Chain A
C-alpha cells in the first residue's frame, strides 16, 4: 500500500480535473456521458471491493442497480417524496437486498455463488415485470430530477461528482486499513485469513452489503439521469459490463477499475459502430484479458515500467535484531485483546 499522502494527492488532482470537465466539454451529450461514468463508478467502486479485493465473483449487481432505480422512481417520482431522502432510502434498500442475497449465497463455492447472483438479477427483472402496478411493468417509470441547483445537466454532474468522490474516498480508506488487508487475505489465502482471526463469512457479507448500498445510490442517480427507466435497461449484460470494468482495471486497484469504467463507458459513445457490438466487444475484451493479462491492464503498465527501469531486487541476508525483538515481546502480557 503506498504512502498515505501520494494517494490523497492523486485523488485531489483527479477531482480537480473532473471538476473542470464542464468547462471544456463540447456539448450536453459529453456532460451526459461524464455524469453516466460518475454514476457507474459509484456502483463499480463498491463492486470493486467485492470482486477485486475480496475475490467474490458477483455478476448480478445490475439487479441491485435496478432496485435502486425503481425505488427512487417510485418514491421520488410516483409518490413525490423528497429526492435526497429517496436516494438514501434507495441506497439502504440496495444494502438490504445485498444482505438478503449475500446471506444464503456467500457461503457457496465460486461458480455456485456467481450463478446465484446471476439468478438474482434475472429474478429482480421478473419481479419488476410482474408487479406492474408498482413498477409500471414493461412500460417503465419516469425518473424525477433533483431540485435546483442540481436539475440542470451541469448542476447534476457536480452532484454526481461529489457523491462519486465520497465513494472513492471511502474505498481508498477501506483498502488502506486493516479491513483492506483482511479482505485481500480472504481473496488470496483464506487459510491464512482464518488463522489470523478474520471472520470470513461476516467480512464478505459486510462488503457485499456496502456494495449493495453503493449500487442503490447509483441506481437512484441513474434513474434521475436517464429520466425514464424500463426493465429493458437492466439486462444481465450490464452486470457483465461492470464486471469487465473491474477485471480489465485489475484486482487490488482502485484507479484501474476507475479507468476501466471511463474507457468502457466512453468507448461505445465515441465509436458509433461499436455501440451495437458493445456486448460482443466486452466478451472479447474479457477473454483477452483473462488469457493474456489476468492481473488486469494496471499490471500491464507495471510490467512495462519494469522493462524500462528494472527494479533490482537485492537478496540481502536477514539480520535479526534479537534484543529489539525480545523487548517488543516482553510488553505483550499487559495489552488488551480486541474482539471482532
Chain B
C-alpha cells in the first residue's frame, strides 16, 4: 500500500512540476503552451543521452538537460508566442505551440527512437531499494525545491516581482518601463530550464521516451486545472491528487483506465468549481 502511495506521489510531483511550468509561462504571456510537457521530455531524453550514450558525468547530463530545456523554451516563445500575440486571433497560439510540440516530438522520435529507453542511475543505489528508490525521491524532492524556489523568486527578487507585476497588469508594467517582451522571453527560458531539470529528475520513473511530451502536457494541465490556474500551491495539490488517483486506481482496477480516471477527476472538479480548487474567478469582458 505504501508502495502505491509513494509511486503515486512521485508521478504526481512530475505532473505538479509541469503545472508549475504552465504557471510561469502563463503569468507573463497569458498563453498555455502545448509544448510544456515536451520541455520535460527533452530533459529526460538529453540527460539519458549525455550520461548513457556519451558517458559524461551526471552533472554534465543535468546541465545538458537544463540547457536543452531552456533552449526549447526560448524557441517556444520565439516561434509560438511572440509573433502570435501581436495578432488579434487569440487561439492562434494554441495552434502554433501544438505545431512546435508535434515537430519536436517527431524529431526526437526520429533521432532517439520510439521505444522508451531506461534512464541511468544518478546515485549508486540497489535496484531493489523499494520505497527509498531515488526514482521516487528525485522527482518529489526536485519539484518541492522548484515550488519553494519559485516562491522565493517571486517574493524576494527584483525579477520575480517584475514577473508578478506583469501577470497582474501588463499595461501598467509596460507603462513603468518594464520591457514586457524581454520578461516574457525570460519566463519561457526559466520554464524551459525548470522543465529540463524536472524531466532529468523524473527520468528514472518515466524513462526517456519521445511520446512523453504529450502525456505530460495533458496530465500536467489536468493538475493545473484541478489546482487552479495561477496558483503554485494549487499546482502541487492538483499534481499530488492526480498522481495518487492514478496510482491507486491502477492498483485496484489495473492500469487500463488511467486516462479515463484522470479526466474524470478533471471534469468533476471543473463542474463543481470551474476555476479550480485554488483558482480565482475572472470578470466577464464587454
Direct contact of A and B (CB under 8 A): yes
Let me know if A104 is at the binding interface, CB within 8 A.
Answer: yes
Nearest Cβ distance between residue A241 and chain B, in whole angstroms? Answer: 10
**Are A116 and B263 neighbours in the complex by a CB distance under 8 Å?**
yes
In chain A, positions 78-129 with a C-beta closer than 8 Å to chain B are 104, 108, 110-112, 114-116, 118-120, 122-123, 126-127, 129
Given the interface pairs A104-B271, A115-B218, A240-B98, the reply to whether A291 lies near B91 with Cβ below 8 Å is no
Let me know if B148 is at the binding interface, CB within 8 A.
Answer: no
Given the interface pairs A57-B95, A287-B79, A294-B92, the reply to whether A279 lies near B221 with Cβ below 8 Å is no
CA distance A137 to B87 in the complex (A): 45
State the majority secondary structure of interface residues on A. helix
Band of interface residues on B: 35 or more
* Stretch from B101-109, B151-159, B163-171, B172-180 that touches the partner: B101-109
Nearest Cβ distance between residue A70 and chain B, in whole angstroms? Answer: 16
Let me know if B99 is at the binding interface, CB within 8 A.
Answer: yes
- Closest B residue to A120 by CB, please name it: B263
Let me know if A191 is at the binding interface, CB within 8 A.
Answer: yes
Let me know if B57 is at the binding interface, CB within 8 A.
Answer: no
In chain A, positions 222-260 with a C-beta closer than 8 Å to chain B are 236-237, 240, 247
Let me know if B280 is at the binding interface, CB within 8 A.
Answer: no
- Which chain B positions have C-beta within 8 A of A126? 256-260
CA distance A126 to B254 in the complex (A): 12
**Are B83 and A280 neighbours in the complex by a CB distance under 8 Å?**
no
**Are B260 and A123 neighbours in the complex by a CB distance under 8 Å?**
yes
State the majority secondary structure of interface residues on B. helix
Let me know if A283 is at the binding interface, CB within 8 A.
Answer: yes
Let me know if A130 is at the binding interface, CB within 8 A.
Answer: yes
Band of interface residues on A: 35 or more
- Which chain A positions have C-beta within 8 A of B79? 287, 291
Nearest Cβ distance between residue B219 and chain A, in whole angstroms? Answer: 9
Let me know if A38 is at the binding interface, CB within 8 A.
Answer: no
Given the interface pairs A122-B259, A123-B260, the reply to whether A290 lies near B84 with Cβ below 8 Å is yes
Given the interface pairs A280-B110, A284-B103, the reply to whether A111 lies near B260 with Cβ below 8 Å is no
Nearest Cβ distance between residue A248 and chain B, in whole angstroms? Answer: 11
**Are A123 and B263 neighbours in the complex by a CB distance under 8 Å?**
yes
**Are A294 and B89 neighbours in the complex by a CB distance under 8 Å?**
yes
CA distance A191 to B285 in the complex (A): 9
- Which chain A positions have C-beta within 8 A of B92? 290, 294
CA distance A247 to B92 in the complex (A): 11
- Closest B residue to A191 by CB, please name it: B286
| Interface positions of A (Cβ within 8 A of B) | 55, 57, 59, 104, 108, 110-112, 114-116, 118-120, 122-123, 126-127, 129-130, 191, 236-237, 240, 247, 277, 279-280, 282-284, 286-287, 290-291, 294
Identify 15 new A-B residue pairs, CB closer than 8 A, beyond the known A111-B94, A119-B266, A290-B92. A104-B271, A115-B222, A119-B218, A119-B222, A122-B218, A126-B259, A130-B254, A130-B257, A236-B214, A283-B99, A283-B100, A283-B102, A290-B95, A290-B99, A294-B92
5 tightest A-B CB contacts, nearest first = A283-B102, A287-B99, A280-B106, A130-B256, A286-B99
